């Protein structure tokens, strides 16, 4: 695969804000846009445009329309912007604040076997906040913040962990099209639920992953008319987002149903392992991981409780109650107990958060007979297999001598 190494600089920013990134030469421009949003630190709230070395303009069609003289970026690739080292193009983001990025093609080469095609290699400078007034507004903001904000801070690892964990490093997933689709889905969900115009109280992407995980293994088939209101308002108050057009509604539903199907596919009857989103994204930092796990677990509990009859029946069963306990603990349902057990609960959380993927599979197995019962009552003909699987503390069948959870079950 042919890859480009690019230097992306935010023009006129002080201190300098720049990134050096590797991208597939055949990456479609929507992928280039979403990658730049991630690596620079923007939140994808505004319009954008590319200006190639050939002075042609490429942009995103708004409701099917493009400004005169602007080409549809969906039909062009990174190679449309430039082809020879030393050539430059521009990426303009937010026509109000007018953030202009200069992109220089530094080198062209073949991707090495150990390399991932989409990667941040170096960089410096924190991304300015959205809607701060452009270069002048950012300078004034930095002056008012003083030493309380590190304007030079940047870490490539956060981008690489986020992008790399979304896509398996095999030959099939190295195609620009597959990478583009994965990033577009993740960014679309984040924009819809966390940075878009949805109402306060909507689920975060992390909570949504836990929620869909519970629905995927639930003994009853929960239709969208039951679960969708919880996505928009996790408080259960019934508030709904006010979409501006039919197109916005269709886009939102497409994102949610696509992700729902992905999660259901991961937890199908044949799945021997499962990785929650916080582990897929490689969230390890001491200040970030507990919050991410809590969000995910709260979403899972919300999905497990969506049918009162199933929840009550599970909670009244001694084994069922034990299987629900890890999720309830990580969701914070035991936090109000201010007694001598508080320290013990925190210590247990440290262990439990690394086991939640296995706990999901354990609960799925517990619910299998109930699922059969439900399908027989509702005319379902689907087969559900409950084959013996390797326990998380069993010796790994690969012969390594390690426990399964520390080897192939990670």
In a domain, 90, yes or no: yes
Q: Are 42 and 95 members of one domain?
A: yes
**Domain co-membership, 136 together with 186:** no
pLDDT at 21 (0 to 100) = 95
Answer whether 123's CB lies under 8 Å from 154's CB: yes
How many domains would you assign to the chain?
A: 2
CA–CA distance, 255 with 55 (Å, rounded to integer): 34
Q: Are 42 and 180 within one domain?
A: no
Residue 385 belongs to some domain of the structure:
no
User: Distance from first CA to last CA of the chain, Å, rounded?
Assistant: 30
* Structure tokens, 77: 């690739």
Model pLDDT, residue 168: 46
Inside any domain, residue 23:
yes
Write out pLDDT tens, residues 337-367.
555 466 566 777 778 888 899 999 999 999 9
Q: What is the CATH number of the domain that holds 348?
A: 1.20.120.740
Task: For residue 385, give the DSSP letter.
Answer: -
Per-residue confidence (pLDDT) for residue 63, from 0 to 100: 62
214, 290: one domain: yes
Domain-ending residue, one of 166, 187, 202:
166
Q: Give me the domain span that covers residue 226.
A: 176-379
Both 245 and 277 in a single domain?
yes
| Predicted local distance difference test score (pLDDT) of residue 92 | 96
Residues 243 and 154 in one domain: no
The secondary structure of residue 199, as a DSSP letter, is P
25 touches 77 (CB < 8 A): yes
Instruction: Give the residue from 112, 144, 166 where a domain finishes.
Output: 166
SS3 content of the chain, % helix, strand, coil (to 5): 45, 15, 40
Q: What confidence tens digit (pLDDT) does each residue in 359-396 have?
A: 999 999 999 999 988 888 876 544 344 344 445 455 55
Asked whether residue 392 is assigned to any structural domain, the reply reads: no
**pLDDT score, position 389:** 46
Residue 122 phi, psi (nearest 5): -170, 170
Q: Which of 268, 273, 270, 243 is nearest to 256 (CA)?
A: 243
247 and 371 part of one domain: yes
In a domain, 60, yes or no: yes
DSSP reduced 3-state for 89 = strand
Q: Are residues 230 and 355 located together in one domain of the fold?
A: yes
Residues in the chain with pLDDT < 50? 168-176, 340, 381-390, 392, 397, 399-400, 404
Nearest-angstrom CA–CA distance, 133 and 259: 35
Does 397 fall in a domain? no
Q: 136 and 197 share a domain? A: no
> In degrees, to the nearest 5, what angle opens at C-alpha 265 toward C-alphas 234 and 275?
70
Q: Are residues 126 and 211 in the same domain?
A: no
Q: Are both 24 and 120 inside the same structural domain?
A: yes
Helix (H, G, I), strand (E, B) or coil at 21: strand
User: How do residues 92-137 score in pLDDT, each as one tens digit?
Assistant: 999 999 999 999 999 999 988 888 888 999 999 999 999 999 999 9
Q: Is residue 6 part of a domain?
A: yes
Angstrom distance (rounded) from CA 179 to CA 164: 10
CATH number of the domain bearing residue 21: 3.10.290.30
Q: Read out DSSP for 96-153?
A: TTTEEEEEEEEEEEEPPTT--SSEEEEEESPPPPTTS-HHHHHHHHHHHHGGGS-TT-
Dihedral pair phi/psi, residue 318, rounded to 5°: -60, -45
Residue 200 has a pLDDT of: 73
pLDDT at 248: 78
| Residue 390 covered by a domain | no
Peptide bond into 368 cis (omega under 30): no
Judgement on whether residues 158 and 180 belong to the same structural domain of the protein:
no
Q: What is the spatial distance between Cα 6 and Cα 93, in angstroms, rounded to a whole number?
A: 18
Pairing state between β 70-72 and 57-59: parallel
Nearest by Cα to 117 from 220, 6, 224: 6
Q: Please give the structure tokens belonging to residue 80.
A: 């449309």
């Amino acid at each position: 695969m042919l890859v480009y190494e690019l230097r992306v600089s935010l023009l006129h920013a002080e201190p300098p804000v720049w990134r050096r990134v590797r991208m597939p030469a055949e990456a479609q421009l929507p992928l280039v846009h979403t990658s730049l949003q991630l690596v620079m630190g923007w939140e994808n709230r505004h319009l954008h445009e590319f200006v190639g070395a050939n002075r042609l303009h490429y942009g995103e069609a708004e409701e099917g329309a493009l400004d005169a003289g602007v080409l549809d970026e969906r039909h062009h690739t990174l190679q449309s912007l430039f082809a020879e080292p030393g050539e430059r193009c521009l990426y303009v983001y937010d026509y109000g604040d007018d953030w202009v990025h200069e992109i220089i093609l530094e080198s062209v080469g073949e991707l090495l076997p150990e390399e991932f095609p989409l990667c941040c290699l170096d960089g410096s400078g924190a991304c300015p906040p959205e809607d701060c007034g452009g270069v002048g507004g950012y300078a004034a903001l930095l002056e008012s913040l003083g030493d309380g904000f590190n304007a030079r801070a940047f870490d490539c690892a956060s981008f690489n962990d986020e992008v790399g964990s979304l896509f398996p490093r095999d030959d099939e997933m190295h195609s620009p099209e597959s990478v583009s689709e994965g990033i577009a889905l993740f960014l679309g969900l984040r924009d819809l639920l966390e940075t878009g115009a949805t109402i306060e109280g909507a689920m975060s992407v992390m909570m949504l992953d836990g929620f869909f995980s519970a629905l995927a293994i639930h003994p009853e088939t929960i239709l969208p008319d039951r679960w969708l209101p919880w996505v928009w308002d996790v408080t259960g108050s019934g508030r709904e987002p006010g979409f501006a057009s039919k197109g916005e509604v269709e886009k939102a539903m497409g994102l949610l149903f696509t992700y729902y199907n992905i999660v259901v596919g991961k937890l199908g009857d044949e799945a021997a392992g499962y990785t929650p989103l916080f582990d897929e994204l490689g969230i390890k930092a001491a200040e970030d991981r507990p919050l991410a796990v809590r969000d995910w677990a709260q979403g899972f509990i919300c999905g497990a409780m969506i049918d009162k009859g199933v929840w009550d029946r599970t909670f009244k069963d001694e084994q069922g109650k034990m299987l629900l306990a890890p999720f309830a603990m990580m969701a914070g349902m035991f936090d109000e107990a201010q007694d001598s057990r508080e320290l013990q609960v925190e210590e247990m959380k440290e262990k439990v958060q690394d086991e939640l993927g296995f706990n999901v599979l354990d609960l799925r197995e517990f619910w299998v007979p109930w699922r059969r019962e439900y399908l027989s009552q509702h005319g379902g003909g689907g087969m559900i297999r409950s084959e013996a699987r390797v326990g998380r503390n069993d010796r790994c069948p690969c012969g390594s001598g390690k426990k399964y959870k520390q080897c192939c079950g990670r």
